[in-house]
Amino acid sequence: MAPAYTTWLLDQIRAGERNALEKLYTIFYKRLCDFACQIVKSSDLAEEVVSDVFLAVWQKRETLEIKTDMKAYLYVAVRNQALAYLKKEKLWEELDEEAQSKAIEHYNPLDMLLFRELNYSLSSIISTLPEPDNLMLRLKLSGMTYSEIAQALDTTEKTVEYRLSKSISFLKRAYQKSR
């Protein structure tokens, strides 16, 4: 989505145009939910987090200051909201189990076992990455481009590319060792 269009939508939202918020919601809702789900490990919680972010945008529309483009702002806001929710509710471990069982309901028992082992292994390895690398990897997995990640994290595209390359190499080596 072109930053100029989302900037225009933001201007419309500031002017109190509910339709502009609905357009913004339609454009970003699904991808933001997918991103939030990677953090909270529950589609229901992810939807709640994203809805809370859009509600906050509407409630703070007159004073909202966005220094990056709207897409980067929304991803960072969703990340912060999701992490705040998990910290508040202390649901890290409980949600992992619940999310895994929901995701694998439709597979046979062997597939379920393999999926759980793979998911646990990768989650464990990813969690050992330093926070900036961990976050960059999750943003990339959510569908953001290097440029969007760089904007969201206020760094250069080359830094994102380099750190993601190092993280992926680390994940491959660590996963091979764990097998």
Residue 149 sits in a domain whose CATH number is 1.10.10.10
- Is residue 83 domain-shared with residue 112, that is, in the same domain? no
pLDDT at site 102: 53
What is the enclosing helix (H) or strand (E) of 147? Answer: helix 146-153
pLDDT at site 127: 81
List the CATH number of the domain containing 59.
1.10.1740.10
- Is residue 3 domain-shared with residue 84, that is, in the same domain? yes
85 part of a folded domain: yes
Say if CB 50 and CB 29 are below 8 A apart. yes
153 part of a folded domain: yes
pLDDT at site 29: 92
Return all residues near 6 (Cβ < 8 A) that are at least 6 apart: 24, 27, 69, 70, 71
98 part of a folded domain: no
- Is residue 14 domain-shared with residue 60, that is, in the same domain? yes
pLDDT at site 92: 46
CA distance 17 to 32: 22
- Is residue 71 domain-shared with residue 5, that is, in the same domain? yes
Is the model's pTM score more than 0.75?
no
pLDDT at site 100: 47
99 part of a folded domain: no
Instruction: Tell me which of 32, 66, 91 is where a domain ends.
Output: 91
Say if CB 72 and CB 152 are below 8 A apart. yes
Nearest Cα residue to 133 out of 178, 179, 174: 174
- Is residue 86 domain-shared with residue 2, that is, in the same domain? yes
- Is residue 63 domain-shared with residue 119, that is, in the same domain? no
pLDDT at site 173: 85
Instruction: Tell me which of 35, 64, 91 is where a domain ends.
Output: 91
> Number of C-alpha atoms within 13 angstroms, CB side, residue 129?
24
Q: What is the mean pLDDT of each run of 10 residues along the chain (179 residues)?
A: 73 87 89 87 88 89 79 85 75 52 50 62 80 82 81 86 89 77
| Number of domains, the chain | 2
- Is residue 79 domain-shared with residue 110, that is, in the same domain? no
Pull the structure tokens for residue 168: 């992926």
Domain of 137 in residue numbering reads as 104-179
